[in-house]
Amino acid sequence: MKIKLAYGSGYLSINLPEERTTIINPFQVNGLADEKSSIINALQDPIYSQPLLERVSSKTKICIAFTDITRATPNDRIIPWLLEYLGGPSDNITLINQLGTHRPNTKQELESLLTPDVVAQYRVLNHEPDNPNSLVKVGTTSDGTPAYLNRHLVEADLRIITGFIEPHFFAGFSGGVKGIMPGCAGLETIMSNHGSKNIGSNKATFGITKGNPLWEELRDIALKAGPSFLLNVTLNEQREITNVFAGDLIKAHEVGCEFVKKSAMQGVDQLFDIVVTTNSGYPLDQNLYQGVKGMSAGSRILKNGGTLILAAECREGIPSKSPLDKLLRSETSIEEVLKKISAPEFSQPEQWQAQIQALIQRKSNVFVHSMLDDKTISSCHLKPCKNISAEVAKQLNKFGNKSKVAVLPQGPLTIPFLN
């Protein structure tokens, strides 16, 4: 049977034996008939909050936090509609890019994200997690590390946090407080929260916020910024908006998470010998750092000792010379990388991604089909895969005639779990 995998800006076709293959597609959720009206209605009738315009005057200093180029949020629609709704002078509004530890986005990327008109008419800033002048201390993390947040965000009269909600591989769900912490947090603060102890918790996984030590600290620090208004959406695989959740930062997000649990998480009745997954295509599969999310989704239904195959274009590489790239190349095996990360004194940006990759590799053989050359893939302690169909056939033969394969064509847009 022919299966289309989300890959880059298009699709990758593979052929697998129908009788041994289970395809796990996202539930089909229709896009909203009128996205703009739905957003305006949500702003006027928010969840556990007064209407947005009742919090705004001609002198209100507003900070809008938006997601960066690695996220699928339709900023080019949401942000212009939000700004039009707010009205008022543009010099009262600052837009902050929720970069966390990601690289700054270029002017061209910002114009692609927000539209050229928005970039030309408003103050648009990349968050700087390592610039002390752009940060303000709001408290401490659970281990006593100073908690820093973006100064523009904290000092604003009104904070509007935008984004989209999907299951997240260690924070439970994206959106919500993540737009503030880690999105607009200091590097030292993020490093503390994303340390090996929190990442290693069995509660730090898809679909769990309550009892998840990592998410609960994200929440506690985000709330120190002061009251914030949430504007989050959910999306289908066509990147259409399927629902809007606006209002109280915590309460509105909770409602959104319940919607996502029903629409994006699917139970299966067995574990599989082989799982083929993606990272949902571009922009989510632009590098291997992001691709770990696809690995994590697929590994949830993989037998111990099974084979995981990730199809992720990785047009930006690991990225090259990124902290993740340097960390993976610094040791001769993935076990040595994990040992290094687990040392109490060790702290390095992006170590969390390497840790999750290593934990997945402890129980499986991981192959990657991408634009990366074989040497680069091998240097990351992964196995290159030129032809997914041929590799699956080889692995089915290896595991025997009763072995089965599962396919996640849209990667982490669907999060499977064992019933």
Pairing of strands 158-164, 10-15: unpaired
Q: Choose, from 152, 168, 369, 381, the residue flagged as catalytic.
A: 168
The radius of gyration computed from the CA coordinates of the chain, to the nearest angstrom, equals 21
Beginning with the edge strand found earlier in the chain, give each strand of the sheet holding 272-278 in spatial order: 21-23, 405-408, 272-278, 302-311, 364-369, 383-384
Question: For this structure, is 152 an active site residue?
Answer: no
Alpha carbon distances (Å) from 335 to 20, 294, 328, 357: 32, 21, 10, 11
Distance of CA 169 to the CA centre of its chain: 8
Of 290, 305, 350, the C-alpha closest to 323 is 350
What per-residue string of b and e applies to 95-124 under the rule 16 or more CB within 10 Å gives b? bbbbbbbbeebeeebbbbbbbeebbeebeb
Helix, strand, coil tally for the chain in percent (to 5): 35, 25, 35
Question: For this structure, is 253 an active site residue?
Answer: no
Of 368, 379, 49, 68, the C-alpha closest to 228 is 49
Q: Choose, from 102, 194, 253, 369, the residue flagged as catalytic.
A: 102
Q: Would you say how long the chain is, in residues?
A: 419
Alpha carbon distances (Å) from 376 to 320, 325, 381: 9, 9, 9
Rounded distance between C-alpha atoms, residue 108 and residue 72, angstroms: 17
Residue located via tokens 């295509």:
281
Distance of CA 73 to the CA centre of its chain: 10
Rounded distance between C-alpha atoms, residue 261 and residue 414, angstroms: 10
CA angle 198-327-329, nearest 5°?
145
Helix 334-342 and helix 351-363, axial crossing angle in degrees, nearest 10: 130
Which amino acids are annotated catalytic?
Answer: 102, 168
